[in-house]
Amino acid sequence: MTILGISAFYHDSAAAIIEDGRIIAAAQEERFTRKKHDPGFPAEAIKYCLQYSGADLNKLDAIVFYDKPLLKFERLLETYYAFAPQGLRSFLMSIPVWLKEKLFLKRLIRQELEKLGYDPSRKVKLLFPEHHLSHGASAFYPSPYERAAILTIDGVGEWATASIGLGEGKNISILKEMRFPHSLGLLYSAFTYFLGFRVNSGEYKLMGLAPYGDPNSPDVARYMAIIKDKLADLKPDGSVWLNQEYFDYATGLKMVNEAKWAELFGFPKRQPEDELLPQHCNLGLAIQYLTEEVVLNMGKEAKRLTNADALVLAGGVALNCVSNGKLQASGLFKDIFIQPAAGDAGGALGAALAAYHIYFGKERIVTTERDAMRGSYLGPTFSDLDVELMAKKYKAVATHYTNFSDLTQDAAKLLAEGNVLGWVQGQMEFGPRALGGRSILGDPRNAEMQKKLNLKIKYRESFRPFAPSVLAEDCAEYFDYDGISPYMLLVHPVAQKRRTPVPADYASFPLREKLYYQRSDLPSITHIDYSARIQTVHKDTNPRYYELIDSFKKLTGYGVIVNTSFNVRGEPIVCTPDDAYRCFMRTEMDYLAVGNYLFDKRKQPEWQEKDNWKEEFVLD
C-alpha cells in the first residue's frame, strides 16, 4: 500500500511517501524552489517522492492533505463574526481568496496533480485528516513506543492550537484540546513579532536571544508579571487564555496592538535591523520562561491523562529545543521523542501515516531501536556524475578521492586548522535542521569560529548560537546529558568540567562583550547560559559524518564539531551540488566537500555574481 502525504498553502509545504507503513521519502518544497518556507503546492517535492519510491501517481492507494480546509473556513467565519465590526479590512482581503481557491481545495489539489500526470478518471482517494491529528501521527507512528502520550502545540490548525492524545498500537485518541484564539504558539509568535523577527520563521531567533537576558534582572520578573496579568492567563493544566484586547492576529493584519504593547512594556516594537538592547533580551527571556512553564504544565497534564511512560511531541512549538530539554529533564516521562520535522512540513508525513493506520486500519509494527525516521535523511541525494557535471558547468577545480577515509582525514585537518568547511553528503535532511547531510562545519575549540560563521559565512545576526555535532558515545564527555539527540531538538548544559567561570559583573556586560567572552573549552558551541543544542551522531544513520567527526577526534582529541545549516541568511538549506557550490562561492567559506570531491576556494575561478544573493533571498 502506497500513500502520498501533502502539506501546503500556509508555510513549509512538503510531500512524503510511505509504503506499507514504512517511510520512504520526504522533502520540503523550499529546497527545490529556493523560496524559504515556500507555501505553494509542493509539485517538486511530490516529483521527488514519486521518483525515489518508484511509485505511479495514478496507482497510489491514497493522497492525503494534512488538514481540513472546511473546518478552517468555519473558524475564519466564526472569528470574524465574533469580533465584528473589527477586522473588516482583513475580512475583505481574505474571504475572496477562500471563495476563489481554498474553499475548493479538493478541486485545486486535483488540478495541481493533473499537471504532474494525474488522471482524474482513476479517482485515487483524497483524504483530509485534522491538522493536529496529522501532527500527532507524525510523532507517534515513527516513534519507538508501543504506547505514548502525544502532545502537539503550534499556532493554530483548524480550531485546535494544542492537543493531548494517547497513541496505542495503531490507534490515536485525542483526549483534550486548546482552541483558537488561545494559543501558546501564537503568544510566542506575538513576541517574535514585537522583538523584530519574522513570524513563522524567526521564533528560533527569539529562543536564541533569550539567554542574553539577565535572569537576575528585576525587569525579567516585571515582564513576566505583566504578561501574566495583562496578556495571558496560564492555567495549571497547561491551557492559556489570551486577552484579545492586546492582540490583532484574530481579525487584523498584525500580530499585536503595537501601541498597547509599547505602553505595557515601556518601549516600542523593535524594527528588524535595530540594535538589540537589554530590554529586548530581558523580554525574550521572560516569554521563554513562560513558554517553558506552559509546556511543562502540558506535559504534566498529558501524564495525568495517560499515565504513559513515553511522550511524543510535534507542532511548531516542539521546535523550541530549550523547553524540550526542560521537559525531558523534569523526569515526567522515561522517554521522549520529538518529530524532527515538527512544523507543518511534518504534517505531510503524519497525514500519510494517519491514513494508513486509522483510515485503512493497518497494523503498526514497532521494530526500530530508536525511531523510523532514518536519522531524518529522507531527501534527495546525488552521484559522482552530478558533482562532475556541476564542476564542468562552473569550471570548478576539485580533488577527487577514491578512498573516502582519505577525504575525512584531510577534512578533519582543515577543520583543526581553523577553516570553515561546507559538507554535502548523501540524502538531504527532512525538517529545519541540518544534520550532517547539508551542513557548514567548524572547530568548536576556535574562539573566533562563532563570529566568523555568523558574519562572514551566514551573514546574519552576531548573537545567533551554533550547535555541536558530537559522537553519540562521547556526549556525556562534553555535556550534562548521556542520552541521544539525533535531531538537534534538545538543549542541555555544557559539562561543568568544560566551563570557564565568568566575572562577577558579567550580567552587566553589553551583548557583544557577553557574546565573545570565552565560556568553555568549546567556545563556539557554548551559548551564553552554558547551554548547547546537541546533535548526537550515530554511525548507523550517517556513517560519513560519523567518520569525519571520528577523524577529527583522532587528530585533536575532541569528538565534537560545530554544525550549522548550509545556507546564507534568508536562503533555504542547499539541496543539490549546484546549490552548494553557488553558496560556497558567494561566502567566505574555505573548503567544500561534496560526496568524494573537495573544492579549495583558492583554486576556484573568479566568481562572476549574476545576482546579489541579498536581493535573491528575502532576509529572514
410-464: pLDDT as tens digits: 999 999 999 999 999 999 999 999 999 999 999 999 988 888 888 888 877 777 8
**Rounded mean pLDDT of 40-46?**
97
- Beta strands across the sheet bearing 160-168: 171-179, 160-168, 147-153, 310-314, 335-338
**What CATH number did the domain enclosing 10 receive?**
3.30.420.40
Per the domain annotation, does 156 fall within a domain? yes
Is the pLDDT confidence value at 111 over 60? yes
Fill in the amino acid letter for 383.
S
CA distance 215 to 145: 37
Specify the higher pLDDT residue, 24 or 156: 24
**Rounded mean pLDDT of 42-60?**
97
Residue holding cell 509504503? 19
Per the domain annotation, does 377 fall within a domain? no
> How many domains does the structure of the chain reveal?
3
User: What is the 8-class DSSP label of residue 439?
Assistant: E
Per the domain annotation, does 540 fall within a domain? yes
Sign of CA dihedral 333, 337, 341, 344: negative
Q: Which pLDDT does position 158 carry in this prediction?
A: 85
Asked if residue 412 and residue 362 are part of one domain, the reply reads no
Cell of 592: 567544500
Cell of 577: 551540488
Is the pLDDT confidence value at 104 over 80? no
Q: Which pLDDT does position 85 carry in this prediction?
A: 60
Q: Which pLDDT does position 211 carry in this prediction?
A: 92
The whole-chain average pLDDT of the chain stands at 92
Specify the higher pLDDT residue, 406 or 108: 406
The whole domain housing 86 covers 1-141+344-372
Q: Which pLDDT does position 588 carry in this prediction?
A: 92
Asked if residue 28 and residue 111 are part of one domain, the reply reads yes
Asked if residue 359 and residue 395 are part of one domain, the reply reads no
Per the domain annotation, does 379 fall within a domain? no
Asked if residue 228 and residue 90 are part of one domain, the reply reads no
Sign of CA dihedral 45, 9, 460, 616: positive
Per the domain annotation, does 37 fall within a domain? yes
In angstroms, how far apart are the furthest CA atoms of the chain? Answer: 74
Asked if residue 244 and residue 266 are part of one domain, the reply reads yes
Asked if residue 290 and residue 263 are part of one domain, the reply reads yes
DSSP string, 140-197: HTTSS-SEEEEEEE-S-SSSEEEEEEEEETTEEEEEEEEETT--HHHHHHHHHHHTT-
Q: Helices 88-100 and 69-83, interaxial angle, to 10°?
A: 160
From residue 366, how far is each of 147, 185, 308, 340, 362 by CA, in Å? 10, 31, 17, 18, 13
Asked if residue 174 and residue 220 are part of one domain, the reply reads yes
Residue 594's beta-bridge partner residues?
Answer: 424, 597
Task: Give the percent of the chain with pLDDT over 70.
Answer: 93
* 549: exposed, middle or buried (Cβ count in 10 Å: 0-12, 13-18, 19+): buried
User: Across the chain, how many H-helices and E-strands are there?
Assistant: 21, 21
Label residue 292 by pLDDT band (50, 70, 90): very high
532-571: pLDDT as tens digits: 999 999 999 999 999 999 999 999 999 999 999 999 988 9
Asked if residue 484 and residue 425 are part of one domain, the reply reads yes
Asked if residue 207 and residue 76 are part of one domain, the reply reads no
Least confident of 78-82, 138-142, 226-230, 447-451: 78-82
CA distance 549 to 544: 9
CA distance 92 to 87: 9
Sign of CA dihedral 51, 52, 58, 59: positive
Is the pLDDT confidence value at 88 over 60? no
Asked if residue 333 and residue 353 are part of one domain, the reply reads no
Q: Which pLDDT does position 94 carry in this prediction?
A: 67
Q: Which pLDDT does position 394 carry in this prediction?
A: 97
**Rounded mean pLDDT of 125-145?**
97
Q: Strand 335-338 vs strand 591-594: parallel, antiparallel, or unpaired?
A: unpaired
**Rounded mean pLDDT of 200-208?**
90
Dihedral (Cα; 344, 436, 581, 609), 10-degree rounding: 60
**What CATH number did the domain enclosing 513 receive?**
3.90.870.20
Cell of 471: 559522537
Asked if residue 59 and residue 154 are part of one domain, the reply reads no
Per the domain annotation, does 133 fall within a domain? yes
Q: Which pLDDT does position 98 carry in this prediction?
A: 59
**Rounded mean pLDDT of 320-344?**
96
Q: Which pLDDT does position 407 carry in this prediction?
A: 98
DSSP string, 127-141: E---HHHHHHHHHHT
Residue 604's beta-bridge partner residues?
Answer: none
585-595: pLDDT as tens digits: 999 999 999 99
Q: Which pLDDT does position 533 carry in this prediction?
A: 96
Is the pLDDT confidence value at 611 over 60? no
Residue holding cell 486500519? 361
Q: Strand 597-600 vs strand 399-400: parallel, antiparallel, or unpaired?
A: antiparallel
Per the domain annotation, does 4 fall within a domain? yes
Per the domain annotation, does 295 fall within a domain? yes
Q: Which pLDDT does position 614 carry in this prediction?
A: 60
Asked if residue 198 and residue 324 are part of one domain, the reply reads yes
334-383: pLDDT as tens digits: 999 999 999 999 999 999 999 999 999 999 989 767 899 999 999 999 99
Q: Which pLDDT does position 103 carry in this prediction?
A: 60
Q: Which pLDDT does position 84 carry in this prediction?
A: 60
Fill in the amino acid letter for 249.
Y
Q: Which pLDDT does position 215 carry in this prediction?
A: 92
**Rounded mean pLDDT of 495-507?**
89
Is the pLDDT confidence value at 502 over 90? no
152-186: pLDDT as tens digits: 999 998 889 999 999 999 999 999 999 999 999 99
**Rounded mean pLDDT of 274-300?**
96
